Amino acid sequence: MLNKILEHKSKIVIAIIVVLSFAGIRAYESQLFYDPFLAYFDSEFKSLPFPQFYGFKLFGGLLLRYFLNTVLSLLLIYSLFQDVEIVKFSIFLYVFFLVLLLGMFFAILNYYPDGNWLLFYVRRFIIQPIFVLLFIPAFYYQQQNQKK
């Protein structure tokens, strides 16, 4: 067991660095990104209207955060699987979901003023590294099936 850990120590170190980077982004989110929805969703938002926001600043903050999470996720995926094809496919998926989620986010903001919960969950997928939690087991399962 110790031999396997030592054999994969670079993967473990990279994974720890990536997880700590995710935690750093989360810990300093209010200083790093413009997002008036941080305070909004920390309150009792169910009956409140959406807060005032600057569209371009909000878009830029969400885009930057998604980009940082994506880069870290791709680094983690590559370090675990060391397969360029998996990384290319992951990039495609991240771009696809970025377009889909940002479109949904701004559609909800502009056309569904009562869509508080929907906005909450769409925003969660934009600002949190949830996709990497889905992709890693899926790619691992795919690799295991290809070996059989």
How far the first Cα of the chain sits from its last, in Å, is 24
Closest CA to 37 of 17, 65, 5: 65
The one-letter code for the residue type at 136 is: I
Is 108 in contact with 122 (CB distance < 8 Å)?
A: yes
pLDDT of residue 147: 78
How large is the average pLDDT for residues 6-21?
89
**Is pLDDT above 70 for 5?**
no
Q: What is the 3-state secondary structure (H, E, C) of 69-128?
A: HHHHHHHHHHHHHCCHHHHHHHHHHHHHHHHHHHHHHHHHHHHCCCCHHHHHHHHHHHHC
pLDDT, tens digit, 9 for 90 and up, residues 127-136 = 999 999 999 9
pLDDT one-digit tens code per residue, 19-40 = 999 999 999 999 999 999 998 8
